[in-house]
Amino acid sequence: MFHRESGLLKVTYEADMALYPLPIARWTVAVIAVLAFLVVPLLLGDYYLSILNLISVAIVGAIGLNILVGYTGQVSIGHGAFMSVGAYTAANLAVRLGAPFWVSLPLGGLMAAAIGAIVGIPSLRIKGLYLAIATLAGQLIIEWTINHVTWISGGVQASIEVPRPTLFGMRISTQREMYFFLLVFVVLAIVGAMNLVRSRVGRAFIAIRDQDIAAEIIGVNIFRYKLLAFAVSSFYAGVTGVLYTYYLGIANYEQFQITTSIDYLAMIIIGGLGSVLGSILGAIFVTLLPILIRTTMETFGGFFFSTGAILNIVPNLRLIVFGLLIILFLVVEPEGLNRLWRNIRSYFRVWPFAY
Amino acid sequence: MFDWQFFVLLLSNGILIGLMYSLIALGFVLVYKATDAINFAQGEFVMIAGFVVAVAIAAYGAPLWLAVAVGLAGMIAFGFGLERVMLRKLIGRPVIAVVMATIGLAAVLRGFGPLVWGAGTKSLPLPIPEEPVVIGPLFIPPIQILGAVVSLLFLAAFGWFFLKSRRGIAMRAVADNQQVAMAMGIDVERYFGLAWAMTGIVSALSGIIWGNLLGVDVQLSLVGLKVFPVVILGGLDSIPGAIVGGLIVGVVENLAAGYIDPYVGGGTKDFAPYVLMIIALMVRPYGIFGKAIIERI
């Protein structure tokens, strides 16, 4: 990640596709792992850990959405709803049957995958704009169904309280315990996605994105792989919903409305379409943005505005900055933060002899 | 016993509301027809126009004609400017780029309106009577009649524009094939701007009518969500399609709300049009009147 060989020296396809391009890469990953698992949770307080936890949840969802949008080229404005499917499935399992998280979490993901594949069926016939609108319809219909079927939503306020996850008899309740819990899934999500996209399946996804007709001609079964992309992506979304539900301790449809879908789309566009690292950067960026705006306004806004005005300004300012960033990245740097990162890296690759 | 009066009431209400949806959908169709761009911020256009007119009347005490003129001029300038600054740069990029850019724009507008003009609901008074007009069993609010009339007028005007006027024909040429249009001496970029300005006009009118009906605040932008069923049903690039789609959506949602709501506890209004739309997408994705050249996959 931070290191480069002094030129392109790869002679086999396997070497080009390897997860660790250089032996030193293993060390980088090991150092990052030690930092994430040992140093960070020991150093940071609860507040910062809670932010990291939100980022962890977002990373899982953003990687999932990127598999669909970035790698397979299918638009989805329905990921918020897929998350809610996972969330309510897990919440119902946990409350009604007393299922532990290692049962409810994969089942929530699988349920979301099934629903996602169903919503993805129109992608076999339509694409681009039409698909965007079809998934938007999926979002609204799922939202409405959860809201109106009390058997799913648990009645009052459409929210279900879930018990904290337990592992070997230990309840995971503090932010620090939650951090480790979520980090495991972040690692699984990253490793899963990186291996998926360099496998046969991932190459089929990319082929469909780049030229669907050509992909079909060279023997990629479009029907299967498009639905598979929807299913995998929705599985990630479902798991995200479950994780968020366990994190909050409550399943509530308000956390998974259309704005959530748009937030996640913004993450992968700002981060970079078709890149796992981009999903991570985007998730961090979009999660931190409202926190930064709020902190800044609370610290400095008092000099210019009254407290009541700030309450109005913060959410609206967030929307404006958020929208402007989406537009800015689309117009100026369509490949997102990931591209900026690559630019920096390739600059230093030949530094200090930059010509 | 089938209650005819109830049915006719729902039907007439649906038709009038449907025509008002058609007006919003017209804004979407105009842009799609000329520039192949998809505007996910149509509802926010309507909201911003409503804000401008309502604030001009309430805060600055402008007479109605002046407020409407300000709203129209503002939205035309906004349309031109937007095309110049944002959409021109996205020409030739994948569909998702334009979709996301307009979604981003929607977020900006939704934040901008309440930030500048306050979050409270503003009324947008029009000099028309409040009492419903009674025709036999029907009770029709005058604003709905006004909305339906304005819709039909503008749909006819734009229909004529595209069929007969020189500029309209040029715009169709641009929509048909940009390169050939360019070769024939048509200034393609100017017509892109013009299309967005026309959307601005339509949005301003929708904003005034819907703003009067619902009150002006952020929630007003939610009428934009009704645009998609309308245009998918009618065909994305068809003005008659916008009328027919609007009528279908208006009638279906009112009938659904009237007959299904009591059993499921409300909300059918927002739900039924989308179910209809999904069916339409599977059966006839290019809509009732749309051009049938959807790409085979």
Classify residue B224: in a domain, yes or no: yes
A125–B285 CB contact, under 8 Å: yes
Cβ(B133)–Cβ(B238) under 8 Å? Answer: no
- Across-strand partners of A171? A166
pLDDT band at A160 (very low <50, low <70, confident <90, very high): confident
B135 in a structural domain = no
A274-297 mean pLDDT: 89
Quote the percentage of chain A above a pLDDT of 70.
Answer: 94
Angle between helices B4-35 and B142-163 (to 10 degrees): 30
Instruction: Answer with the residue of higher pLDDT: A322 or B62.
Output: A322
Instruction: Indicate the average pLDDT of chain B.
Output: 84
Q: Phi and psi (nearest 5°) for A251? A: -100, 120
Helix, strand, coil abundance in chain B, percent, nearest 5 = 75, 5, 25
> How far is CA B115 from each of CA A24, B41, B44, B119, rounded to the nearest angstrom?
51, 18, 14, 7
User: Kindly report the CA angle at A125 between A119 and A128, in degrees rounded to 5?
Assistant: 80
Give the count of beta carbons closer than 10 Å to the beta carbon of residue A349.
13
pLDDT digits (tens, 9 = 90+) for A87-120: 989 888 888 887 788 888 899 999 999 999 988 8
Could you identify the residue written with the tokens 């126009």?
Answer: B49
Let me know if A226 is exposed, middle or buried by CB neighbors in 10 A (0-12, 13-18, 19+). Answer: buried
Residue A31 lies in a domain: no
Contact at CB, B89 and A69, closer than 8 angstroms: no
State the pLDDT confidence band at A206, using cuts at 50, 70 and 90.
Answer: very high
Q: Say if B122 falls within a structural domain.
A: no
Q: Is A252 left (phi over 0), alpha (psi -120 to 50) or beta?
A: beta
Question: What digits encode the pLDDT tens for the residues A254-277?
Answer: 888 888 888 898 899 889 888 888
DSSP string, A264-313: HHHHHHHH-TT-HHHHHHHHHHHHHHHHHHHHHHHHHGGGTS-HHHHHHH
Q: What mean pLDDT do residues B164-191 have?
A: 86
Whether B276 is in a domain gets the answer: yes
Question: Which of B103, B105, B285 minimises the CB distance to A126?
Answer: B285
Q: At what angle do helices A101-120 and A79-96 cross, to 10 degrees?
A: 140
Tokens of B24: 């919003």
Stretch among A4-8, B23-27, B248-252 having the lowest mean pLDDT: A4-8
Question: Which of A41-55, A261-275, A277-291, B131-145 has the lowest average pLDDT?
Answer: B131-145
Q: How many domains does chain A have?
A: 1
B238 Cβ partners below 8 Å, 6+ apart? B29, B287, B288, B289, B290, B291
Domain assignment of residue B269, given as a range = 4-117+146-283
- Give the one of A127, A269, A319 whose C-beta lies nearest to B107's C-beta: A319
> Are B107 and A262 a contacting pair at CB < 8 A?
yes
- Cβ neighbors of A132 (< 8 A, separation 6 or more) are A75, A76, A77, B38, B95, B96, B99
Asked if B204 and B75 touch (Cβ cutoff 8 Å), the reply is yes
Of the listed ranges A149-163, A227-241, B12-26, B104-118, the one predicted with least confidence:
A149-163
Average pLDDT, chain A: 84
Closest in A69, A147, A331 to B89, CB measured: A331
Residue A293 lies in a domain: yes
B242: tokens are 């916008």
State the nearest Cα–Cα gap between B192 and chain A, in angstroms: 17
**Between B39 and A347, the higher pLDDT residue:** B39
What confidence category does residue A36 fall into, taking pLDDT thresholds of 50, 70 and 90? confident
Cα–Cα dist A311/A301, whole Å: 10
Read off the CATH number of the domain in which A295 is found.
Answer: 1.10.3470
Supply the range of the domain harboring residue A252. 44-349
Task: Answer yes or no: is A20 within a domain.
Answer: no
Q: What is the pLDDT of residue B297?
A: 47
Residue A124 burial (CB count, 10 A): 14
> What average pLDDT does this structure show over A192-209?
90
Which token pair is B148?
């339906």
Instruction: Say whether B133 sits in a helix, a strand or coil.
Output: strand
The answer to the question of residue B277 being in a domain is yes
B103 and A334: CB-CB below 8 Å? no
CB contacts, 8 Å: A134 with chain B = 278, 281
**Residue B212 to residue B206: CA distance in whole angstroms:** 10
Indicate which of A330, A332, A333, A335 best probes the interface with B, i.e. most B CBs within 10 Å of its own CB. A330
C-alpha–C-alpha distance, residues B119 and B114, integer Å: 4
Q: Do A199 and A73 form a contact (C-beta atoms < 8 A)?
A: no
What is the pLDDT confidence band of residue B1, given thresholds at 50, 70 and 90? low
Higher pLDDT, B296 or A65: A65
Which pLDDT belongs to residue A237? 94
**Global pTM value:** 0.87
Given this model, what pLDDT does residue B83 score?
A: 87
Residue A258 located in a structural domain? yes
pLDDT at A21 over 80: no
Query: A68 vs A157, which has greater pLDDT?
Result: A68
Q: How far apart are CA B274 and CA B268, in angstroms?
A: 10
Between B121 and A65, residue with greater pLDDT:
A65
Indicate if the pLDDT at residue A11 is higher than 80. no
pLDDT, residue A193, reads: 92
Question: Mean of the pLDDT values across residues A3-21?
Answer: 70
Distance from CA of A323 to the nearest CA of B (A): 4
Q: Which residues on adjacent β-strands are paired with residue A166?
A: A171
Among B111-115, B199-203, B257-261, where is mean pLDDT lowest? Answer: B257-261
Is B281's Cβ below 8 Å from some Cβ in A?
yes
- Tell me which of A165 and A134 has the higher pLDDT: A134
More confident residue, A59 or A6: A59
Chain B interface disruption, residue of A130, A212, A335, most B CBs within 10 A: A130
What pLDDT is stored for residue B189 in this prediction? 84
Query: Poorest-confidence range of A7-16, A227-236, B19-28?
Result: A7-16
Given a cut of 60, whether residue A7 has pLDDT beyond it is yes
Q: Do B90 and A266 touch (CB under 8 A)?
A: no
Count: domains in chain B: 1
Task: Locate B4 and state its tokens.
Answer: 């005819």
Q: Answer yes or no: is pLDDT of B265 > 70.
A: no
Of the partner residues A141, A147, A326, the one whose CB lies closest to the CB of residue B275: A141
Inform me whether the pLDDT recorded for B124 exceeds 70: yes
**B141 within domain boundaries:** no
B112 contact A CB<8A = yes
Q: Could you give the dihedral angle defined by the CA atoms of residues A117, A122, A128 and A129, in that order, rounded to the nearest 10 degrees?
A: -120
CA atoms within 13 Å, Cβ hemisphere of A1 = 11
Instruction: Tell me whether residues B100 and A326 touch, CB distance under 8 A.
Output: yes
What are A214-221's contacts with CB under 8 Å, separation 24+? none
Q: How far is A40 from chain B (nearest CA, A)?
A: 34
Query: Residue A317 half-sphere exposure, CB side, CA atoms within 13 Å?
Result: 17
Look at residue A167 and give its three-state secondary structure: strand
Distance between CA atoms of residues B216 and B134, nearest Å: 27
pLDDT of B87-109, one tens digit each?
888 877 777 788 888 989 998 99
Identify whether the C-beta of residue B70 lies closer than 8 Å to the C-beta of residue B64.
no
Residue B291 lies in a domain: no
Burial of B61 (0-12, 13-18, 19+ CB in 10 A): exposed
- Highest-confidence segment of A29-33, A126-130, A202-206, B284-288: A202-206
Per-residue pLDDT band for A235 (boundaries 50, 70, 90) equals very high
Q: Distance from B228 to chain A by nearest Cα, in Å?
A: 7
ipTM of the complex: 0.84
Confidence category of residue B275, pLDDT binned at 50, 70, 90: confident
Residue that is written with structure tokens 């030690």 in the block: A34
Between A285-294, A309-318, B110-119, B141-150, the lowest mean confidence (pLDDT) is in A309-318
Residue A237 lies in a domain: yes
Using only C-alpha atoms, what is the Rg of chain B?
Answer: 19
φ, ψ of residue A311 to 5 degrees: the values are -60, -35
Report the CATH number at residue B98: 1.10.3470
Within a domain: A180: yes
Q: Quote the pLDDT of residue A151.
A: 74
Averaged over B129-141, what is the pLDDT? 76
Q: Quick check: is A212 in a domain?
A: yes
- In this structure, are residues A207 and A224 in contact, taking their beta carbons and an 8 Å threshold? no
Chain B residues 168-227 with a CB less than 8 Å from chain A: 225
**Residue B134 maps to a domain:** no
| Cβ contact, residue pair A324, B104, below 8 Å | yes
pLDDT of residue B295: 54
Distance separating alpha carbons of residues A182 and B7, to the nearest angstrom = 54
| pLDDT for the residue B48 | 92
pLDDT of residue A177: 82
